[in-house]
Structure 1
Amino acid sequence: MDDFFERKKKELNIELNEIQKLAVMQSEGPLLLLSCPGSGKTTTIIMKIGYLLEEKNVPASRIKAITFSRASARDMAERFKKFFPDQKPVEFSTIHSLAFTITRQFLQKTGVTYDLIEGSNSRKGSVQKHFLLKDLYKKVLKEDCTEDELTALSTFISSLKNRMIPFNEWQEIEGPFERAGQIALQYEQMKTRTYKHLLLDFDDMLTIAEQALRTDEELAAYYQGLYDYLLTDESQDTSLVQHRIIEHIVAFHGNLCVVADDDQSIYTWRGAEPDYLLDFKKVYPDAQLLKMERNYRSSKEIVDASALFIERNKNRYPKKMHTANPEAGPIQIKQLEDPKRQLEYITYELLNEQRLNEVAILFRNNSSSTLYVNELHRRGIPFYMKDADDKFFSHWVVEDILNFMRLSFNMTRKDIFLKIIMKMNAYISRSMIITFERTNTRGNVFDSFMECVDLKKDQIDKLKHYQEVYDKIPQMRPAQVIRMIRYELDYEEALKSRAKKFGFRFDQLSTILDTLEGIASQLKTMVEFANRLKELEQAVQKAKYHPSENAVTLSTFHSAKGLEFRRVFMIDLVKGIIPSDEDEKDRTLLEEARRLFYVGMTRAKERLELLSYQSVDGKQKEDSKFINEMRGILMKPEERKMEKLQKADVSIPLNPDGICQREELSVGMHISHRVFGRGTIQEITDEMVSILFGNTEKRLSLEMVLSRRLLEKVAV
């Protein structure tokens, strides 16, 4: 078969390694192809399809390739056409597209009609999924549903279906908030309440397709005979119901190639089943296993460190990612003073970049992007948003802040007052709101409310305090106003209560307020602030749909999967963000968070910078657990020796000339370190001292260097 590979080398200038060749030639029976980042999986898949066509003479119509997204399907179809222009096109599609075809055929056969309630294909005027869920939420919980809750509820229902949880267990599954399982069950009942007519969302296409292939022998036989070879890409992100659909289709011939990387499984929260890959031979006992471990993308430093980092996960296939690429410079770990300094550092680095389209800023939470959007837009640095967070600007927290501000312009606005009074932590009940709403009143809303509603003394005292705060607001700059809203009007306390009641993460809500404060800090009036938010919202839309050709990419770690950049900044790497507090409490979640961090690292080709900060609003922050792991991995042999020396329970003679007092150290001082030699002090904090040794900056424990007198002052 070398003729095929030699021919393609001449035609396409593509030379496969030995493992890739084995993967291409392994055509009969099931194959699990584990593909490390940057290992050329797409090229291998396309070459495998070409091999089936040219060497095995398989008709194109008998081959089916299933991808994770429509974008991937388009990309692979274009790549196939480029590699094999004379061949008939092979069918590339998503699993949802295939499932919908099966579902439609099954429902037509059983005489059931349907309406799609999700996506662009849903019929105009039909019921929409989000409205249905909002109505049920209010019916069950007697509260209006926020966009956060709606998203969480939708994801929860999707996860239940994708994991094939029986309906009778739904109410027992822990949801994002109280009684989520009950709402989910009522949602399903409502969609099927009309005889012989269904309301279908995206996940119903999967569950009905699986049911059809499992119960309808004639339909199953048709699809089992439709294709002779199936290939699935990004299978680490495939859910149980999706795997089952594939199992049904290949049941006759078993010619299945599953391309995946269990180390990049980052979607279990929406139903992906990475354990399915670990149990692959239980489902397909005759399966072959191949590992594509050579990374063609990244520098030696990035590949070596990433490989060691992901090995800390236990629930995985053992792999040894390696590369023949040369070194390109060390991975940088930087701890900045605060998020503002982090932003400034990246901004100035970008101003010195000529090829911005080869640079990415990656973060875990989408809310992190807004401050960067503000600063990049302000400085005229073009940016592209992989997953534009335009929802930030319509988030209920943002709307709350704007409503607080709107009331200050007209203290008689009863409609605005009614929207925010329950956000002031004055323990106002809904019945009080209804009473006030039904009363005809004029004048200052605080006075009117206290006159119309029966209140306790402590409630009256609070409302009077709030009224005094509002008297000060018109003279203040918008950043000051936001701080007054947070702390003087008790909005932050109200947020904590709401987070506890509905299962929100308060730290994420607080981050939104920090972001708004950051945007407001450059502005003089509340009107300017409101206009700036609109301006940024438009900029985000433009950055998503009409980006500049030379634009820096802003993306979450999740959305960056599959992409690559010459230089990558991973930001906000502090405890509580990645891994989150929830991640650290659960080994399974912690391993997924580590996989997510690994995905971020392996996007970089030459330069990777891991950034954290010391504090936010004066509150100390700890570095991410993963940052500390990376410090250990990057530690050089002499540094490990030093660490062992420091930890050893032996008596080490102290240098009588060594510095032992914090006051003796200063930035710019030239020193000599017992192990690392001569250096210059760059920064001193309460816990660390940063010293530049040659071209390498090291952060050392202040307590350690002082107590062991490891530094000695030297002349220039």
Structure 2
Amino acid sequence: MTAISGSRIRDGLDPQQLEAVLAPRGPVCVLAGAGTGKTRTITRRIAALVESGQVNPGQVLAVTFTSRAAAEMRERLAALGVAGPGSQISALTFHAAALRQLRYFWPQVYGSARWQLMDTKFPMVRRAAREAGLDTADRELVRDLAAEIEWAKSSLIDPSAYVERTRDGTRDLPLRAEMIAEVFRAYEQGKTDPAGDFLLDFEDLIGFTTLALDSDPAIAEEFRTRYRSFVVDEYQDVTPLQQGLLQAWLGGRDDLTVVGDANQTIYSFTAATPDYLLDFTRVYPEATLVRLERDYRSTPQVVALANAVIGKAVGRVAGTRLELIGMRPDGPEPVFAPYPDENSEVVGVVAEIKRLLRAGVAPGEIAVLYRINAASEAYEEALSAAGIDYRVRGDRGFFERPQVAAALRRLTALADGPPPEMSAAAAVRKALTPLGYAQTEPPGAQAKVNWQQMTRLVELADELLAARPAAGFAELVAALTARARTEGESDGGITLASFHAAKGLEWDAVLLTGLHEGSVPLGRASGTPAELEEERRLLYVGITRARVHLHLSWSAARSEGRPATRRRSRFLDGLAPAETAGGAPVPPPTGPDRAVHAALQEWRADYAAAHNIAEPNVCSGNALKQLARALPATREELARISGMNAERIEMLGEQILAVIAENRETAGQK
């Protein structure tokens, strides 16, 4: 292990960071705002404790919430000489620490009984739901039940107490509480086989480890002799289950450093609570409390907007508000961008990405963030059409989504059989109907999600058929499968992520999208004041991911032609410029756009009739609108339009460009 240098520990720290680093051994609470250098501070604190001889490296256990954050902590400690080859310091996630300890102590507690860690709850929850008489073909319901069981276990609620603990009606339950409790009970019983062996889920790792420490004094003594000093990062995200393990680790001791920011509490739906952070100085009255407010990440312009958004927060968390101070040079003002409809917003956001790229911002330093994962599909399609690499973070790409993957499996199985007695397009629609495809949008939130995914798959099939009008069903399915294999393969490029998945990350440029009521705040997640405030904090987290460029957008209608009934997010009231107040839509295109659109529709109808194919198989209605709006004049410009792939351009490009050129000139003369 490299010798630790005291000057290296103190180098470059501001006064508040230094105070936290040099605080004596004992309870320390660091309230660290976004971009204030919390990881630097806690790793330097560990190094200072070791350098001063207050603790040995092997006696420190540092825990955080992601493997990425734990790895970064280990790397920084190694650079300071307190972690690396030959060192025994531990920097792990809660679950990784519990797994290591449970493997070691299991024989002492449970003897020869065997156990196995489940990769996912899904199969066991599905079996429990089937036993309860539920329709387990509904994968979304099974996933909702698994999430509810995870919340209950993280909240230290067992099946017998579940109904009572959810009686206040604050949780959005997928079923009656009594039915969920029955599935929960069957799930827990199903994890123990007749031989006495165990299947454990990730919550069990923590629960069983806590039980071992609490129930056996010899085990507790052995552990507490090994670990004497504890550091917990992101303490605002601790669940009651994790707090119980932390208390078992401590065993009444107080050598504990916690770091967190209540204003970044965004995981309450998983049972995370900021209460332990907010109550820290009450539990430990002698604790050292340090506030880190100098923001080294973002420009003063981004910081000012973040402060303004969180400054309107109310409730207990607001009482610990940190007023960030931007330490970077000035940058551009945040851009507020209203759009008439969702498609226009996607087009506008992609145009802004192109502008940033031309200005020299690296693709890997640009992120598009959204409130719900389903919003990524439109951006995936638009970026692909524009030839811009991207990656989806924290969520599956379109073809990896369970319902879409199931649809592809069904299509592949049918393609292996005899050819259908209908056109390839009709065969795709017939095959996808049992999975949610329909001519009209159905009622029900989950039914709509399935319908949107199946409709998107049908549209992709139509696009492929437009390039291969003579393709049979098997050839079409093969083309869809090939598209699935290549979709989003790039490891670089623009990042697409939900607000939640962006937590802990940062980029030079961030584009926050869908900032309208019903999305931010999310309609179903704003039923109580506490839920509403969490939605505000989620927007705050999104804003503070940006270093320099920040673009905030919303749309007044879901699609073109629908009434502009959406209102800009209430969280931007008084912050966006007056000309965008109320989410006033941008006027729709006029002049040559209308003439070109009408001419393209007429051309498509003639082409479809001449080749005996459906009009959408020539060119989708959405593509026609984009063509009429963008008015491309070259093949290169044509390739930037969503749905205009290389094969379609080769077959139809010259005709489309000719129609646009002719009618643009005509419209201009008028």
My pick for the range that moved more, 208-217 or 590-599, is 208-217
Query: Are 1:319 and 2:266 counterparts?
Result: no
Conservation of the 8 A alpha-carbon contact between 2:340 and 2:564: no
Name the CA shift for 1:148/1:359 in 2 (closer, same or farther; >3 Å): same
Counterparts in 2 of 1:568 and 1:489: CA distance versus 1, 3 Å: closer
Does the residue aligned with 2:8 lie in a helix, a strand or coil?
helix
Tell me, in whole angstroms, the C-alpha distance in 1 between the residues paired with 2:432 and 2:121.
Answer: 35
Indicate yes or no: 2:619 matched with 1:619. Answer: no
State which of 154, 171, 192 in structure 1 corresponds to 2:146: 154
Give the 3 Å change call, closer, same or farther, for CA 379–509 of structure 1 in structure 2: same
2:548 to 606, 620, 625: 606
Shift of 1:68: 0.9
Q: Could you tell me which residue of structure 2 aligns to residue 416 of structure 1? A: none
Identify the residue that residue 342 of structure 1 maps to in structure 2: 345
- Structure 1 residue runs of 5 or longer lacking an equivalent are 120-127, 414-443, 445-470, 644-662, 668-716
Q: Which residue of 2 aligns with 1:55?
A: 52
**Cα displacement string for residues 81-119 of structure 1 (whole angstroms, at most 9, x for unaligned residues):** 123379845211111122223333443113342332413
Whether the 8 Å CA contact 2:102–2:208 is kept in 1: the answer is yes
2:437/2:450 contact within 8 Å kept: no
* Residues 59-458 of structure 1: pairs in structure 2 closer than 5 A: 59-84=56-81, 88=87, 90-112=89-111, 113-119=113-119, 129-172=121-164, 173=166, 175-178=173-176, 179-194=179-194, 196-314=196-314, 315-316=316-317, 317-352=320-355, 353=357, 354=360, 355-390=362-397, 393-396=400-403, 399=406
Alpha-carbon contact 2:516-2:567 (below 8 Å) kept: yes
Equivalent of residue 46 in structure 1, options 43, 50, 58: 43
User: How many percent of aligned residue pairs carry the same amino acid?
Assistant: 24
What are the equivalent positions in structure 2 for 1:419-568 lying under 5 Å apart?
A: 492-493=441-442, 496=443, 499=444, 504-505=445-446, 508-509=449-450, 511-512=452-453, 515-516=456-457, 519=460, 522-525=463-466, 530=477, 533-540=480-487, 542-543=489-490, 547-548=491-492, 551-568=493-510
Displacement of 1:487 after TM fit? 9.2
Of 31, 36, 44, which residue of structure 2 is paired with 1:34?
31
CA drift of 1:279 comes to 2.3
- 2:16 and 2:291 in contact (8 A); partners too: yes
Q: What per-residue deviation string (whole Å, max 9, x for no partner) do you get for residues 539-593 of structure 1? A: 35623xxx14xx1111111111111111111112222222121122222221111
Change (3 A) 1:345 1:80: same
Task: Tell whether the 8 Å contact from 1:65 to 1:231 is kept in structure 2 after alignment.
Answer: yes
Contact 2:9 2:48 in 1 (8 A): no
Of the three residues 9, 13, 21, the one matched with 1:24 is: 21
1:602 deviates by 0.6
CA contact (8 A) 1:361 1:553 kept: yes
Count of residue correspondences? 559
Q: Do the aligned residues in 1 keep the contact of 2:47 with 2:82 (CA within 8 Å)?
A: no
Query: C-alpha offsets along residues 471-506 of structure 1, whole Å, 9 cap, x if unaligned?
Result: 8x867899999999989656x33xx3xx4xxxx555
2 CA distance for matches of 1:622 and 1:529? 39
Task: Name the CA distance, whole Å, in 2 between partners of 1:536 and 1:588.
Answer: 43
- Structure 2: how far apart are the matches of 1:390 and 1:625? 28
Question: How far apart, in 1, do the equivalents of 2:89 and 2:156 lie?
Answer: 31
Q: Residues 479 and 629 from structure 1, CA distance in 2 versus in 1: closer, same or farther, beyond 3 angstroms?
A: farther
Conserved in 1, the CA contact under 8 Å of 2:416 and 2:474? Answer: no
**For the residues of structure 1 that align with 2:399 and 2:474, how far apart are their CA atoms?**
19
Aligned residue type for 1:304:
A
Deviation at 1:218, TM superposition (A): 2.1
Give SS of 2:131's match.
helix
Distance 1:528 1:573 in 2: 41
Q: CA deviation at 1:615?
A: 1.7
For 2:392, the aligned partner's letter is M
Contact 1:409 1:474 in 2 (8 A): no
Say if 1:371 and 1:515, in contact at 8 Å, map to a contact too.
Answer: no
Shift in alpha-carbon separation, 1:521–1:622, aligned structure 2, 3 A = farther
Opposite residue 534 of structure 1, the aligned amino acid is T
Query: Any idea what the Cα deviations from partners look like across 1:518-545, whole Å, max 9, x if unmatched?
Result: 65674545878755653453235623xx
Q: SS at the partner of 1:361?
A: strand
Q: Do the aligned residues in 1 keep the contact of 2:508 with 2:548 (CA within 8 Å)?
A: yes
TM-score for both structures, normalised by structure 1: 0.70
Query: CA separation in 2, counterparts of 1:252 and 1:487?
Result: 58
Give yes or no for the alignment of 1:588 onto 2:533.
Answer: no
Distance change (3 Å), C-alpha of 1:142 and 1:163? closer
SS in 1 for 2:231: strand
Structure 2, unmatched stretches of 5+, are 467-472, 582-586, 592-670
Q: Which amino acid aligns with 1:367?
A: A
Structure 1: distance between partners of 2:126 and 2:76 = 42
Matching residue's letter, 2:384: H
Q: In the alignment, is the contact (CA less than 8 A) between 1:295 and 1:321 conserved in 2? A: yes
Q: Which has the larger radius of gyration?
A: 1
Find the aligned partners of 2:478 and 2:383 in 1 and give their Cα distance: 17
Using a 3 Å threshold, how does the CA distance of structure 1 residues 107 and 42 change in structure 2: closer, same or farther? same
Match of 2:658 in 1: none
